Amino acid sequence: MTQTPATGATYADSGVDTDAALSGLDRLLKWVARARHGDGTGVGASALEPEFFASVVDLGGGQGLALSTDGVGTKVLVAQMVDKYDTIGIDCVAMNVNDLICVGAEPLAMLDYLGVERVDADIFEEIGKGLHAGAELANISIPGGEISQMREVIRGVSDGTGLDIVGTAVGLVDLQRLVVGDGIEDGDVVVGLQSNGIHSNGLTLARRVLFKEMNLAPNSNVAEFGHSAAEELLRPTAIYVRPAMDMLREGIPVKAFSHITSDGFLNLLRVRSQMGYHLHTLPETPAIFQVIQQGGGLADEEMFLVFNMGIGFGVVVAQEHATVVQAVSRRHGFDSWILGTADSTQPGRVFVEPVGLMGEDDRFRRL
């Protein structure tokens, strides 16, 4: 990989201010954190700190209820551009269940919420197809949901097409078998499973670069992709439930799972162990990220903060278990790579050595 200097737009320039979001979240959580059942201990209490990928509530009897809620962001705008809605439901399922499994929970069900500018039965059916496909891949049910018509609030790329889709998923986990990064040691390895492209993060920046700065038509063919820009962006987020659950069922002593979303490899730090990581190896950068980086003149620091860069899921295990993790991943159709190792002397830092970056405190900078 070559180092690319900063010359172009940033995520903030595109309208996503992550610093403001973090500040706002802190103030929100100040109040939400007080919404605890009873005295905050025992049944009904939160079993995990809020920085983990999913929340877990103590059900009693050693069982925890894992919960996750997420949407697909501005990927819905790409669907509207080309009137193609049959995959964003998969994304909605994926963004939720991929977080649940990061704490070792087995996903059970998801509720969906559709906020729309107006009801279009054809669009709803296409979204339903994606939700069904996602549920099949994740081995969950979707027992219900909600529709809200908010013409004054929601707007789309053309009149009447506005919509947002969000899900809330639940799963069960043995509280004695939570996977939260306890006991990670020096020399433990990070196995990275391939992504399916851009997934559902960074679409605001991607759309700005591809459709404004590069002036690509959504339906026009892009040589590097072998199909249109919109088709590439709409590739559904990979669902990692089956390989992750098989790893646990087969007794692999997984120390941490990480869903690689916004903040990229910094998501590896969302563990209990005070640990850092040296990533020595990366797969070849998928074409979508190469095109976005070159077309927008984006720095590596921005790319690795906003996008998954080809790795959608991370698994931390002792070195002797890495090949078994890779075998399970391969069995489920995912290529994987041993990306690097844990290092207790660099807590809170992720070194992405192939591009000369160090991530810390929600930022990447040059080494």
Chain segment 178-216, per-residue pLDDT in tens: 999 999 999 999 999 999 999 999 999 999 999 999 999
Exposure of 152 by Cβ count < 10 A (0-12 exposed, 13-18 middle, 19+ buried)?
exposed
Distance CA 296, CA 216 (A): 12
Chain segment 323-342, per-residue pLDDT in tens: 999 999 999 999 999 999 99
Predicted pLDDT at 21: 58
Rounded to the nearest 5°, which phi and psi values hold at 357?
A: -120, 150
Q: Which residue type occupies 217?
A: A
* For residue 15, pLDDT beyond 70: no
Q: What share of the chain is helix, strand, coil (3-state, %, to 5)?
A: 35, 25, 40
Predicted pLDDT at 19: 63
Contact between 286 and 225 (Cβ < 8 Å) = no
Residues 6 or more apart from 333 whose CB is under 8 A from it?
A: none
Distance CA 354, CA 313 (A): 19
Q: Model-level pTM?
A: 0.91
For residue 239, CA distances in Å to 26, 169, 230 come to 29, 14, 20
Antiparallel, parallel or unpaired: β 55-60 and 227-228 = unpaired
What band does 26 get if pLDDT is binned at 50, 70 and 90? confident
Chain segment 200-258, per-residue pLDDT in tens: 999 999 999 999 999 999 999 999 999 999 999 999 999 999 999 999 999 999 999 99
Predicted pLDDT at 254: 98
Chain segment 273-326, per-residue pLDDT in tens: 999 999 999 999 999 999 999 999 999 999 999 999 999 999 999 999 999 999
More confident site: 17 or 190: 190
What band does 116 get if pLDDT is binned at 50, 70 and 90? very high
Strand partners, 69: 168
